[in-house]
């Protein structure tokens, strides 16, 4: 494990310490978890964007895509536990 020095504005340090007390952890543990959560969210967003860009490239290459209404219905049915058929890809170019 490495050591890192972190300079915080006084008001942020006070808020972090107060939040740590509420959570029942040390300020150090609170800050480590905060960094872990934001790092994971950042990585997840980057992955989401990369997947979206790849899907867009594939759609442009094939000229096929999915109707938003059909996708939304599929997702709602899946969440509700209703048997759902995957939407069919369709041509979107004229």
What residue segments make up the domains of the chain, in order of their start? 10-87
- pTM for the model stands at 0.72
Residue 75: what pLDDT?
Answer: 96
Mean pLDDT of 24-49: 98
Nearest CA to 92 out of 66, 57, 73, 69 is that of 66
Contact (Cβ atoms closer than 8 angstroms) between residue 31 and residue 16: yes
Is 94's pLDDT higher than 80? no
pLDDT per residue as tens digits for the range 43-91: 999 999 999 999 999 999 999 999 999 999 999 999 999 999 999 999 9
Mean pLDDT of 36-42: 98
Residue 92: what pLDDT?
Answer: 80
Residue 22: what pLDDT?
Answer: 98
The token pair at 8 is: 């915080």
């Amino acid at each position: 494990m490495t050591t890192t020095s972190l300079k915080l504005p006084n008001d942020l340090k006070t808020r972090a310490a107060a939040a740590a007390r509420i959570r029942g952890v040390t300020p150090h543990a609170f800050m480590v978890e905060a960094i872990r959560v934001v790092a994971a969210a950042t990585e997840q967003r980057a992955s989401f964007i990369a997947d979206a860009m790849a899907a867009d490239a594939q759609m442009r290459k094939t000229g096929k895509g999915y109707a938003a209404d059909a996708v939304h219905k599929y997702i709602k049915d899946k969440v509700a536990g209703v048997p759902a058929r995957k939407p069919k890809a369709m041509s979107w170019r004229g």
